[in-house]
Amino acid sequence: MTSHLASTHAELLAARGASSPVAVVMTMGALHEGHATLIREARAVVGRSGFVIVTNFVNPTQFGAGEDFDRYPRTLDRDLEVSELAGADVMFAPSVEEMYGTDRLDLLGDQVMVDPGSLGDILDGLSRPGHFKGMLTIVGKFLHLTAPDYAFFGEKDYQQLALITSMVKSLRFPVSVIGVPTVREDDGLAMSSRNRYLSAQERKVAALVPRAIHVAAEVAAQDGARAGERAGIALLADHPEISLDYLVVTNPELGEAVPGEGRVLIAVRLGTTRLIDNIACRVGGKS
Ligand code: PAF
């Protein structure tokens, strides 16, 4: 299985050779069916002669103080199996030193980083200050080092996808960003590496998160964005174990909802686990 692994940029370039086109799927490891779907999509787009890179790096700069950087699941052997089975050619799993030029985590904040702009100041940007700056910085580094034709990201992290799309446009990265629909468990919960933090009881309750956004979407289609938000929030009101961060109905670009296409987004905390989700919706008459 080690032939499928590159730890340095030099090893990655050697594995890639002159293959074309190239697709990248960026991950922090702990791969699940959602990641496997991204890898299969990437393979389908580049074809058998193309080259699919999966990055695997728990990026320290996108975790805030007190967040789960230390306990984030690290499952490299299993990740190698999942990515190879899904059709990847190589997993690029570099060290912090390879990506940042130092392994001193306390020095990383002083480095040149990507400013997300105002789109990074709302929703998760408010609850997780610095998260998007660290995320865009590592995505920019990986785009630079992997030089792909296509980059695949899950729609589950909708604000992240919007920010990456915006960065690629602003910084003129020559890559097509492709968003892939969220993969869900049988009860609707969006797949996430963090779901494994949930206790059995929390896991049951977590099914209310996708239900809340579906209710919000249904009501928003009839009665407008604010009514949709109220209905989704009301569904969670009887469950004090769910601490709501936000449930909002926006337009597809995360601005003010207007009649037409929209997006419902939610973030909650369940015990020590933060869950996010979103779906497309229609926004009806009286927003
Ligand atoms: O979505 C993720 O797993 C991460 O934010 C990403 C895009 C791999 C950057 O570290």
Which of 24, 139, 178, 274 is the best mutation target for the ligand 1 pocket, counting ligand atoms within 8 Å of the beta carbon and taking the most? 139
Phi, psi for residue 244 in degrees, rounded to 5: -80, 130
Q: What is the mean pLDDT of the chain?
A: 97
The reply to whether ligand 1 has any atom less than 6 angstroms from the CB of 26 is yes
Q: Using one digit for the tens of pLDDT, what is the confidence trace for 61-110?
A: 999 999 999 999 999 999 999 999 999 999 999 999 999 999 999 999 89
Predicted confidence at residue 154, as pLDDT, reads 98
**4-180 has which CATH code?**
3.40.50.620
* pLDDT attached to residue 286: 59
Domain range summary for the chain, segments of one domain joined by +: 4-180, 193-280
Q: Is the CB of 138 under 6 A from ligand 1?
A: yes
Query: Smallest Cα–Cα separation from 246: which of 158, 132, 117?
Result: 158
Q: For domain 193-280, which CATH number applies: 3.30.1300.10, 3.40.50.1370, 3.40.640.10, 3.40.50.300?
A: 3.30.1300.10
Average pLDDT over residues 10-21: 97
Task: Please give the order of strands across the beta sheet that includes 5-6.
Answer: 5-6, 90-92, 51-56, 22-27, 150-154, 176-180
Q: Which tens digits make up the pLDDT trace of 117-171?
A: 999 999 999 999 999 999 999 999 999 999 999 999 999 999 999 999 999 999 9
- Give the nearest ligand 1 atom to 57 CA: 10
pLDDT at position 2 over 50: no
> Which is the catalytic residue, given 9, 32, 35, 144?
35
| pLDDT mean over 227-233 | 98
260-270 and 273-283 beta bridge pairing: antiparallel
Alpha carbon distance, N-terminus to C-terminus of the chain: 54
pLDDT at 285 over 90: no
Alpha helices in 101-257 (DSSP H): 124-127, 131-146, 158-170, 200-205, 208-223, 225-236
- Residue of the CA atom closest to atom 1 of ligand 1: 27
Percent of the chain with pLDDT over 90: 98
Q: Has 35 been annotated as catalytic? A: yes
